[in-house]
A = this chain, B = another copy of it.
Amino acid sequence: MQRHIYNCSDGCPVESTLQIISGKWKSVIIYHLIKNKVCRFSELQKRMPNCSRRMLSLQLSELEKDKIIEKKIYPVIPPKTEYKLTRFGQTLTPLIIEMEKWGRTYNTINLEEN
């Protein structure tokens, strides 16, 4: 995690944030975990059909490494896992909700233009 900071110009806070959430699907994953508290891998897949299984897996593992989400594995067959936000990850909620709000009005505007 430390390396992130040194990539940022003069400690620019926006750049710091991007180091954590700029992955192609990370904010979307966090968004669904805010809305649904707990999600299984397949549930996330359904909610993000444009994200390949491979990508979903990669993004999840990076979020886990950065302590944004935590993973619970049930030792059963067939396998079952659950993902949820950590306490630290929950501090991203206001930011992601702002993304949601802006996206909603943006969608509305574009629909009106048709």
Contact = CB atoms under 8 A, between A and B. Distances in A.
A103 B49 contact: no
Contacts of A5: 107, 110
Interface string A75-114: 0000000000000000110111011111111110010001
Interface residues of A, number: 43
A28 interface: yes
Nearest to A95: B98
Please tell me how many copies of the chain the complex holds.
Answer: 2
B99 A13 contact: yes
Interface of A: 1-2, 4-5, 7-18, 20, 22, 24, 27-28, 31, 47-50, 91-92, 94-96, 98-107, 110, 114
